[in-house]
């Protein structure tokens, strides 16, 4: 299972980077989203992959029964997903506005900040 997930994570990183290197703004955002997923999954794997063994201390025992899934990374991922959700929503609105301003999805057209004649 770990091996399969490792391959998936690697593929996600690769796909994300590939998308980021395209010239389209939408693909750039999609690439960033994929990168975010990849790092979330990476943290998830860190918490050990176990099935149906929550990290609860059984009655009468002092420590958690092995093997258990570490809950901290899962909490981290939850936080990261929420933050990622906010950022991606903002990114979509931003790209939409930028598209309206530039009238193109091509990142090579996004040069106004380097050209004084296009600035107000």
Partner 1 sequence: MTSIILVVATRLIFPLMLMFSLFLLLRGHDAPGGGFVGGLMAASAFALFAFATSVTRARDALRRSTFRLIGVGLLFAFISGLPGLFAGSPFLTAMWTSAEVPVIGKLSSVLLFDTGVLLVVVGVTLTIVFAMAEADEEEEE
Partner 2 sequence: MLPILIPFLMAILSIINWGNRVLHRFLALAGSVGLLFAALALLTTVSEQGILSSNTGDWPAPFGIVLVADLPGAIMVLMAAIVGLAVLVYSTASLDEARERFGYYPLILILLMGMCGAFLTGDLFNLYVWFEIMLIASFALLALGGSRAQLEGSVKYFALNLLVSAFFLTGIGFLYGMTGSLNMAALAQALRAAGPEQPVTTVAIFFMIAFGIKAAMFPLYFWLPASYHTPPVAVSAIFAGLLTKVGVYAMIRMFTLLFVQDTAWTHGLLLVGAALTMLSGVLGAVARREIRRILSFNIISHIGYIVLGLALYRPLALAGAWLYLIHHVIVMATLFLVSGIVQRVGGSFRLARLGGLYQRHPGLALLFLLPALALSGVPPLSGFWPKLVLLQAMLQDGLWLLAAIALLVSLLTLFSMMRIWVGAFWSQAPAGVVTPAPMASVERRMLYGPVLALLALTIAISVFSGPAFELTQRAAEQLLNPQQYIVAVLGESP
Nearest to 38 by CA among 84, 72, 94: 84
Phi, psi of 59 (to 5 degrees): -55, 125
Instruction: Closer to partner 2 by CB, 60 or 63: give it.
Output: 63
Instruction: Closer to partner 2 by CB, 60 or 118: give it.
Output: 118
- Residue 96 binding target from partner 2, partner 1, none, CB below 5 to 8 Å by type: partner 1
Question: Binding of partner 2 at residue 57 (CB under 8 A)?
Answer: no
- Residue 89 binding target from partner 2, partner 1, none, CB below 5 to 8 Å by type: partner 1
Site residues (vs partner 1, CB under 8 A): 82, 86, 89, 92-93, 96
Question: Binding of partner 2 at residue 26 (CB under 8 A)?
Answer: no
**Given 72, 85, 104, 106, the residue binding partner 2 (CB under 8 A):** 72
């Amino acid at each position: 299972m770990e091996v399969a997930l490792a391959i998936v994570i690697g593929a996600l990183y690769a796909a994300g980077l590939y998308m980021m290197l395209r010239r389209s703004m939408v693909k750039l955002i999609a690439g960033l989203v994929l990168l975010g997923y990849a790092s979330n999954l990476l943290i998830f794997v860190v918490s050990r992959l176990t099935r149906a063994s929550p990290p609860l201390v059984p009655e009468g025992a002092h420590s958690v029964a092995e093997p258990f899934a570490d809950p901290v990374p899962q909490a981290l991922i939850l936080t990261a997903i929420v933050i990622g959700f906010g950022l991606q929503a903002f990114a979509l609105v931003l790209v939409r506005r930028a598209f309206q301003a530039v009238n193109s999805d091509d990142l090579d057209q996004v040069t106004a900040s380097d050209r004084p004649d296009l600035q107000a």
